[in-house]
Amino acid sequence: MNDNTSNSKAEKNMNINTDTKNNIQNELNAAKDLKQLEQVRLKFLGKKGTITLLNKEIKNIPTHERKEYGATVNDLRQLFETIYNTKKNNLETEHLQSTLNDSAIDTTLPGATFGMGLGAHHILTKVYYELLDILISMGFAVVDDREVEGAFYNFTALNMDENHPARDEHDTFFFDDNTVLRTHTSSVQIRHMLKNKPPIAIVSSGKVYRSDYDATHTPMFHQVEGLVVDKGTSMAEMKGVLWELISTFFGRKTKLRFRSSYFPFTEPSAEVDMACFSCNGSGCRLCGGSGWIEVLGCGMVDNEVFKHVNYDHTEYSGFAFGMGVERMAMLKYSIDDLRLFYDNNYKFLNQWRG
Ligand code: PHE
C-alpha cells in the first residue's frame, strides 16, 4: 500500500491527514483564477488525483482499519470541497466583476461617428451647381431631357448625318442604329428648339455617355451646354457670356483666348483656352508646353441646325457652348485623374465637404 512501511497504520493515517490537508489548503489558496483552480481540482480529484488515489487504496487496507481510513479520506474530500467551493465562488464573482468593468458602457458619451459626419454634396455636384448658378444669374433657364436618345436628336439634327465622321468620334453606345445613349446634351437643345420659338437662352445639362476610359475620360460624365437664339445674336455676345462664366468660376484674373476650331453644329466654331494656372502662360508639363489649357467648345449655331428645327436662319442667329463638368473640376482643383471622382475614396472627397 505504502512504501513508508516503518510507520504505524495510525501514523500513516495521520501523515495522510496533515500533509494532504496542508497541501489542499495551500494549493487551493494559491489558485489565481478559475483555470488554475480547475488544475488544482484535477490534481486532487481527477482520475489520478491524490484524493482519488487514496480512495482507491481502501481495498488494500486491512478490514478493521478500513472504517477509520475511509473516514479520514472522506474528511479530506470534504475539506477540499468546502475550500474549493468558497474559492470557486469568489473567483467567479471576481471574474464577472472584471468582465463587467472591462465592457462597461458609458451611455453619456456621444455616439461613434467613425469620422464620417453628415452627408455632403459630391465635389462634382458642387461644381455643377456653381456653373449652373452663374448661368442662371445671366438669365439662362436650365433644361434636361432623356438620356436614351434618338440618333436624329443626338446627331442628324446637329448636322451629323449617318455618314458624318464626327459620329465615330463620339464613341457612341448604341442600342440600335437609331437609338443611343446621348453623347452630349446638345440633343436636349434640339428637343427644346422643336417645341419653342426664339428668343431662347437655355442651359442643357446632365449625364452623357461615351465609350472611353482613361485619366481624362470616363464612360459617363456630365456636361453643361448653353444655347442662345435671338435676332441679332453675335459672336461678341457669346464672348461676353463665356468671359463672365469662366472668370466667375476660375477667378477674375483668368486670361482667355478664343482659338478657331471645328464642330459640325456651329459655324464659325472656336475653342476657349485659359492661360495655364500652373505656369501662367510660359509653358509647363501641365499644359504640354503650350501655356494654354483648353476649357470648352463654342460657336455660332450652324444654319443646317436651324433648318432641322424649323427656325428661319435669315431672321435668327444663335450661339452655343459646351463643357464637361469633370474637366472644369479637374482644372479648378488641379486633379490629374478624372477617375478619382468616381472611386469614392472618402479622404479624397472629404477635401470639399465644407
Ligand atoms: N456638344 C459638343 C460636345 O459635346 C460641345 C459643344 C457645344 C461645342 C456647343 C460647340 C458648341 O462635344
Q: What is the pLDDT of residue 13?
A: 59
Q: 21 falls in which pLDDT band (50, 70, 90)?
A: confident
Q: How much is the average pLDDT of 53-64?
A: 88
How far is residue 196 CA from its own chain's centroid? 42
Report how far residue 111's alpha carbon sits from residue 115's, in angstroms, rounded to the nearest whole number. 11
Give the torsion through C-alpha atoms of 304, 309, 313, 315, to 10 deg: 180
How far is the centre of ligand 1, averaged over its atoms, from the C-alpha of 164 (Å)? 16
Q: What is the pLDDT of residue 114?
A: 63
Atom 8 of ligand 1: nearest residue by CA position: 297
Residue 34 has pLDDT above 50, yes or no: yes
Q: 42 falls in which pLDDT band (50, 70, 90)?
A: very high
User: DSSP 3-state assignment of 203?
Assistant: strand
Instruction: Write out residues with Cβ below 6 Å of ligand 1.
Output: 184, 186, 225, 263, 266, 297-299, 320-322
Residue whose CB lies within 8 A of the most ligand 1 atoms, among 265, 300, 305, for a mutation test: 265
Residue 341 has pLDDT above 90, yes or no: yes
**What confidence tens digit (pLDDT) does each residue in 120-173 have?**
899 999 999 999 999 999 999 999 999 999 999 999 999 999 888 878 788 999
- Give whole-number Cα distances, 198 to 132, 138, 158, 304, in Å: 21, 17, 18, 16
How far is the centre of ligand 1, averaged over its atoms, from the C-alpha of 100 (Å)? 67
Could you give the residue ranges of the DSSP H alpha helices within 186-269? Answer: 186-195, 235-250
Residue 1 has pLDDT above 80, yes or no: no
Of all residues in the chain, what percent carry a pLDDT higher than 70? Answer: 94
**What confidence tens digit (pLDDT) does each residue in 177-235 have?**
899 999 999 999 999 999 999 999 999 999 999 998 888 889 999 999 999 999 999 99
The average confidence (pLDDT) of the chain is 90
Atom 2 of ligand 1: nearest residue by CA position: 322
Q: What is the pLDDT of residue 353?
A: 82
How far is the centre of ligand 1, averaged over its atoms, from the C-alpha of 263 (Å)? 7
How far is the centre of ligand 1, averaged over its atoms, from the C-alpha of 297 (Å)? 5
Residue whose CB lies within 8 A of the most ligand 1 atoms, among 186, 216, 241, 319, for a mutation test: 186
How far is the centre of ligand 1, averaged over its atoms, from the C-alpha of 176 (Å)? 23
**What confidence tens digit (pLDDT) does each residue in 297-322 have?**
999 999 999 999 999 999 999 999 99
